[in-house]
Every structure is written in structure tokens, then in C-alpha cells.
Amino acid sequence: MSENIKVSVADGVCTVVIARPEKKNSLTRTMYAGLASAIEESSADPKVRCLLLTGEGEVFCAGNDIGEFQNRAPEDPNAPPPSKRFYYGLANYEKPIVAAVPGLAIGIGCTMLMHCDIVYVAPEARFRMPFVDLGLVPELGSSMIVPWMVGRQKAAELMLLGDFFGAEAAREMGFVNRIVDRAELLPTARATAAVLAAKPPEAMRLTRRLLRQHHAILLERMEEERNILAAQLQTDETQAIMANVLKKR
């Protein structure tokens, strides 16, 4: 397990904390592996009835670590990469997922929330899907989920312009459930997770399956996104953009 992914289990709830605050909780390959393992292990553990995701400090997750992402090694077809394990583990998770978002949620930090059932955010939380600006395409099925949620034109605005939007806008669009004062954010999320964990697990699993309409189609889109994104990473355009981002930092 990555030292930047903290996992604990209590009262039927598996809490997973993205903990790299000095880098705004940006994800590395090792962190993806930690997230994937936490999801896989909690999925298989009958004592775990609910998953709670949050970020350490004032940020939820600012996306991928650009330096590592730029130089990502080719995928081994015989060993699924950690990011793929995480993506599909999250999308196929059969237990309820709660998220507590204290601040920035960018890129994968934003799109992973679309696979959660209940999302609480602090008033300071801000969101962004900057894929086009990085020479990339959306991932985790977000190119399908966002139009489902807000309509095609609003989705185009969010993804093509890639501007920040705040907690209130996220609530109005249905990306999040409630805005909660920072001091009460994690306690509120934990209380909700505990309530969900106490409910009949099979009825919970079946209800979530019914709510996730067109799941097979979504998985197909996720694979399509991954293939396009992998190809884009190799282009001169994308490599130049990422090099410029790193230079500015």
C-alpha cells in the first residue's frame, strides 16, 4: 500500500484518504496501486459495507502527477496497470461510496466523484476538467456521465472550455449532494457512511445496480477513453503542453 494512501476500517466503513498534501494530493502510479488495492480488498471484505473517500489537508485531489504522467510507461497487456485497476474497481464497486471533498478536485479528482453515490463538499471546493487544455481526453467514463447529468451543451462548456466551477455550481448541476462547513465535512460524511453501512447489504447492492443505468455501455466508453488518451499521450502536441506545465512549476 502506498504511504500516500491511508486506509482504515471501522464500523463497516472503509475510509480511504488520498494523502499527498504537499503535491495537492496529485496521483502517482504507486498511489493508483494503493487506491486499487484498497478498493479490491474492501470489495472482497464482507465486514466492509461502505467506502468513504476523502483527501488530506485542504485538497481532495488535483489530478495526475504531470511529471510522471508525461513519462508513463507503455501498458503491459498481461498485467493491468494500477490506474486501470482503480478505474474499473471504482466503476464496478458494488457497495455504496461516499466522498468528502475539502477543496480542489481536478481531472481524475473530479471524475472519480461521478462514481460516488453521495458527495459532500466544503464551500471552498472547486472543480475542473482540464483534459483538452492538456492535450488529452476525458476519462473514467466522464465523457458519457457528464452529458447524462447536465445535457450535451453544458457538458461541452465544462469539458471544452475546462474552466473552474465552484461548490454551489456543482450542487446545482447535480455533481454533489450537499455543501457542508469544512469543520463538519468529514464528520457528516462519516455519519452518512455509517448509516449506509447499517442497511441490508443485498438490497443496497441490488438498488445501486438498478440506479447505474447503461453500466455495460459506460464500461465500453471507459475503455474507448483509455485507448484514445494513451494515444494522445504520445503526440508531440500533448508532450509539449505537459513540458510547458512542468517548466512553469
- Cell numbers at residue 180, please? 457542508
Q: Between residues 249 and 158, which one has the greater pLDDT?
A: 158
Is the CATH number 3.40.1390.20 carried by domain 5-186+197-202?
no
Instruction: Note the pLDDT tens digit of each residue in 156-210.
Output: 999 999 999 999 999 999 999 999 999 999 999 999 999 999 999 999 999 999 9
What number is the average pLDDT over the span 62-89? 82
pLDDT at residue 75 tops 90:
no
Domain ranges in the chain are 5-186+197-202
* pLDDT at site 77: 66
Closest CA relative to residue 221, chosen from 106, 141, 136, 103: 141
Maximum CA pair distance of the chain?
Answer: 52
pTM of the model: 0.94
